[in-house]
Structure 1
Amino acid sequence: MAHTHDGIDWNERLSALRRADHIFAKAYRQVAERLVDMVAADGTPPVVVDVGSGAGGMSVAFASVLAARGGGRLVLADAVDELLSAATGHATEAAGGTVTVEAVSVDAADERLTSVLPAADLVWASRVVHHLPDQQQAINRLAGVLAPGGWLALSEGGLDTKCLPWDIGVGRPGLGDRLLAARNQWFVRMREEMPGSVRLPVGWTRALAAAGLVDTSSFSYLVDLPAPADEATRLSVVDMLTWMSHSGEEYLDEHDRVTVARLLDPSDDDYVGNRDDVFFLGTSSVHLGRKNG
């Protein structure tokens, strides 16, 4: 397993991450357009750094938007080499001849971050900071990658994703809410048990301001894939329930564990991958700050 601060085997999750990228592609494109337009207004090809690029969903969006805006430089950074390789390949395919795509293997908590990454007009970090021990220090370090006038965009938080009817006809109603509660309990424990963990007892825009950034703000984007969902969405729901039930298993009672096992069993009549009443509805928030200059 690749070393990560959270103890998660991200290599094992590559396929699930790729499926999620597929169903998020339209939303990612819209976010990338909004952010690239902020840093490409003067016509100069921008430098965009995607820290914690994962399976490459946003990297692909940035590559295609940069190509449509006349080109630029896209740098992917991740601590998990298998993910980084996959993401770089996908981004390169989307880039076209006017966009340079580079890969840097580095931990976002590494003190070398500012020395191995170029000065950036935009740094994007999606669901990265909350996996690092000292979140404020991580934000400070990400801000240090910015060129004067550059923007840091953190995608963190939002509204919990819903994917199941309230009563699915198996077990007790309200399973989705209990899975979310179990996931949240797991997250608290994960943060508490992380070596060197430091609490971040403020909101994200205050943390950006504490890093010396100005013009802080936030926006949220919606992913709404209603029932009856297509196969890709249904399989992402399978991935989501698998992850939530695995991470929060000890916080679920035996009845809910049995119910989840049925929902994830392809041979069961209630397998969520075959149900026409599952859906995907959630929002993600992006928090922005600019470096003076």
Structure 2
Amino acid sequence: MGNHQHGDVDWEQLGASLTRRAEAYAPMTARIIEQLRAAQPRPRRIVDAGSGPGVIACALAEAFPDAEVVAVDGTQALLDLTARRAERAGVADRVRTHLADLPDGLADVGEADVVWLGLALHHLGDQRAALTEFARRLAPGGTLVLLEGGLPARCLPRDIGIGRPGLQARLDVAQEDRFNEMRAALPDVKDEAEDWGALLTAAGLTHAETRTHLLDLPAPASPTVRAHVADLFGRLSGGLREGLDADDAATLDRLLDPDDEAGLDHRPDVFLLAAQTVYLGRKGA
């Protein structure tokens, strides 16, 4: 997603984490693809912009058997994961990878009937200009699928029996601060009110539809969900620790300890509840 050229990132580890997240969210992704199918039943070319390890690119190829899917990302290691996944899924003949930074790198891809932009736009400094560029790459009558907003995921009850109740709500606050820091550090960043429908319109598209999809995977968690939740809390522990008090930091340590009976590996109450908002923009014929 966006520019991934950072030398200190372990892309093998991050790619595995991104894959586990996408696999946990697969039931939601399937419903978003059905939403897309109603708007664009027979796309010939789909661009997954900021494709990461290619889980969604391969799902799109499987859902639209007559379409070519182009996975675009700024990191070759993630595109290599995409190619291997496409081979295993039997769609390698219709999934191709393209190494490029967004949004300018789409110029070499050609027109697309669908541009899928899943949680990638907020990694770009000038979101308005980027959306305009993505819209320019759509064929007449094409659809832009924008995943932004929704609600923070919940994985544990408010009171988990250790530490102070309400841990995830406090993590949300710390994560918002970290998100703002991330945005402020992006190249060419511009402040923008997150009225995604209005931004689609400003990009020259018709704001065709907004829908929020629910992911409700109750306890007890499957191994896939449990692995994603462990990734999530591990990332929060590493990235937000300075903003937490000592009690919350200690609670996170216990949750991430594989030998602690109160940890995520052993808890029977782990679940995954999330809501993702999807905006569809349509280009005039």
Judged with a 3 Å threshold, the aligned counterparts in structure 2 of structure 1 residues 103 and 123 are, in CA distance, closer, same or farther, namely same
Deviations, residues 124-179 of structure 1 (Å, cap 9, x unaligned):
01010101111111111111110011011111110111011111111111111111
Shift, 1:195, TM fit: 2.9
Q: 2:101 aligns with which of 94, 102, 107?
A: 107
Query: Alignment partner of 2:149: what SS?
Result: strand
Partner of residue 86 from structure 1, selected from 53, 75, 81? 81
- Look up the equivalent residue of 2:132 and give its one-letter code: N
Amino acid of the residue matched to residue 103 of structure 1? T
Residue in 2 aligned with 1:61? 59
SS at match of 1:122: strand
* Superposition deviation, residue 15 in structure 1: 1.2
Deviates more, 1:84-93 or 1:55-64: 84-93
Q: Choose which of 181, 202, 205 in structure 2 pairs with 1:210.
A: 202
Amino acid at match of 1:126: G
Deviations 1:52-107 (A, max 9, x none): 1112221121011112xxx121111000111111123213443548x622111011
Q: CA deviation at 1:39?
A: 2.1
TM-aligned CA deviation for residue 219 of structure 1: 1.0
Amino acid across the alignment from 1:28? T
Is residue 18 of structure 1 aligned with residue 19 of structure 2? yes
Q: Which amino acid aligns with 1:89?
A: R
Moved more, 147-156 or 26-35: 26-35
Residues 1:125 and 2:117 are matched in the alignment: yes
TM-score (norm 1): 0.90
Name the residue aligned to 1:4: 4
Structure 1 consecutive aligned stretches of length 4 or more whose deviation exceeds 4 Å: 5-8
Q: Matched residues in 2 for 1:31 and 1:23: separation?
A: 14
CA distance in 2, matches of 1:241, 1:118: 39
In structure 2, what residue type is equivalent to 1:36? R
Secondary structure of residue in 2 paired with 1:53: coil
Moved more, 28-37 or 158-167: 28-37
The structural deviation recorded for 1:38 is 2.5
Local SS of the residue matching 2:148: strand
The one-letter amino acid paired with 1:276 is P
Q: How does 1:41-190 map to 2 (within 5 A)?
A: 46-67=44-65, 71-96=66-91, 100-109=94-103, 111-113=104-106, 115-190=107-182
**TM-score, normalised relative to structure 2:** 0.92
Corresponding letter in the other structure for 2:177: Q
In structure 1, runs of 5+ residues without a counterpart are: none
Partner of 1:258: 250
Give the Cα–Cα distance (whole angstroms) in 2 for the partners of residues 8 and 286 of structure 1: 32
Q: Output the CA distance in 2 between the equivalents of 1:103 and 1:96.
A: 12
Give the partner amino acid of 2:4: T
Does residue 1:247 correspond to 2:239, yes or no?
yes
Count the aligned residue pairs. Answer: 283
- Report the CA distance shift for 1:95/1:137 in structure 2 as closer, same or farther (over 3 A): farther
Distance 1:47 1:10, change over 3 A: farther
SS in 1 for 2:150: strand
Contact preservation (8 Å) 1:76, 1:88: no
Structure 2 stretches of 5 or more lacking a match?
Answer: none
Matched letter for residue 105 of structure 1: L
Match of 1:196? 188
